[in-house]
Amino acid sequence: MRIDVKDIVFAYKEKRILDGVSFSLESGKSYALMGKNGSGKTTLFKLMLGILEAKSGEILADGRRLTSPDGRVFSYIPQNTNTLSGYECIDVALMALASTLPVLSAPDKTSECNAKKLFEKLGIAKLGYERIENVSGGERALVLFARAILQNASFLMLDEPTANLDYENQISIHEKLDELKREDKGILFSTHNPSEALEFADEILILDDRKLIFSGGREEAYEEKVFERLYEGKIKVMGLNDGGKNRYVCLRA
Ligand code: ADP
């Protein structure tokens, strides 16, 4: 599947947030969405999900204009998941299937079994029957990740998916995302960490001052010094050769 975001203009009342933002995403690839706090990343996710409506511009999925939320196109893991309570973690994950089930019916045993297997794979099997409000922020993020996977949409959008996770779980999330990519899912994740974008994304998108100021691969980002420009020279990206493979690290300047 291909997503085309075309010339999106958006404002909260009079406050212009996005001004002519255009880019394309393809399934089977991962994209890191970056930009300073308040640059409009979450707003862009909400526009793509159909939760917010653009003043002008359009979002197309394989050429079809998206006018309302479509769970087959996008699944979403929000940044703030503290509002969920009263459910066992396994049921939170199974909510992913709600839109595909007949009214008032519950997920069957096979779905529950698949959810349990996924919990095992993500290392959160012990959380299945814990109440969501009783688990840590990082564990909650993994439960929400399981829910997004079960939804089986073409694109996964993740708002700072690794922000609450220990380093092992950060790597494990990206390994799982790589696996999903190989199954031809598209991945769009936001991050504030240039190293994470350079290490895990095929392409990087950067929002600044209402515009998309960069879209391209890591080598291009490195050569054009996009992070140095975004953070006004306070950081520097260094390229290194790791056994014949080009890799990049981000350091304080
Ligand atoms: P980011 O995710 O990049 O931090 P956001 O998309 O959350 O940025 O916010 C972009 C801007 O829009 C910020 O200035 C924020 O204060 C403002 N904003 C976000 N949500 C609302 C809202 N519901 N009403 C008015 N302004 C908002």
Name which residue sits closest to atom 7 of ligand 1, judged by CA: 42
Closest alpha carbon to 90 in 72, 70, 106, 74: 106
| CA-45 nearest atom, ligand 1 | 6
Sign, CA dihedral 18-21-23-27, equals positive
- Of the candidates 39, 87, 63, the one whose C-alpha atom is nearest the C-alpha of residue 192 is 39
Ligand 1 atom nearest to CA at 79? 2
Helix pair angle (167-182, 137-151), 10° resolution: 0
Q: Residue with the nearest Cα to atom 19 of ligand 1?
A: 43
Q: How far is the CA of 39 from the centre of ligand 1 (A)?
A: 8
pLDDT of residue 106: 65
Segment 74-93 mean pLDDT = 86
Rounded mean pLDDT of 178-193? 95
pLDDT at 209 > cutoff 70: yes
Contact 206, 35 (CB under 8 A): yes
**Ligand 1 pocket list (CB less than 6 A):** 12, 15, 17, 35, 37-43
Q: Whose CA is nearest to atom 17 of ligand 1?
A: 38
Q: How far is the CA of 44 from the centre of ligand 1 (A)?
A: 10
Q: What atom of ligand 1 comes closest to residue 39's alpha carbon?
A: 3
C-alpha–C-alpha distance, residues 93 and 228, integer Å: 39
Rounded to an integer, the average pLDDT of 51-71 is 93
Distance 41 CA to ligand 1 centre (A): 8
pLDDT in tens, 111-170: 888 899 999 988 899 999 999 999 988 888 889 999 999 999 999 999 998 887 888 888
pLDDT at 104 over 60: no
Q: How many angstroms does the Cα of residue 142 sit away from the middle of ligand 1?
A: 25
CB–CB of 240/247 below 8 Å?
Answer: yes
Atom of ligand 1 at shortest range from CA of 35: 3
Average pLDDT for the chain: 91
pLDDT at residue number 67: 85
**105 CA distance to ligand 1 middle (Å):** 37
Question: Who contacts 253 (Cβ-Cβ below 8 Å, separation ≥6)?
Answer: 228, 233, 234, 235, 236
* pLDDT value of position 169: 83
Residue type, 44: L
Portion of the chain with pLDDT greater than 70, in percent? 96
DSSP symbol at 96: G
pLDDT-derived band at 69, boundaries 50, 70, 90: confident
Q: What gap in Å lies between CA 22 and CA 9, rounded to an integer?
A: 10
Q: Strand 30-34 to strand 211-216: parallel, antiparallel, or no bridges (unpaired)?
A: unpaired
User: What pLDDT was estimated at residue 110?
Assistant: 79
Asked whether residue 188 carries a pLDDT value surpassing 70, the answer given is yes
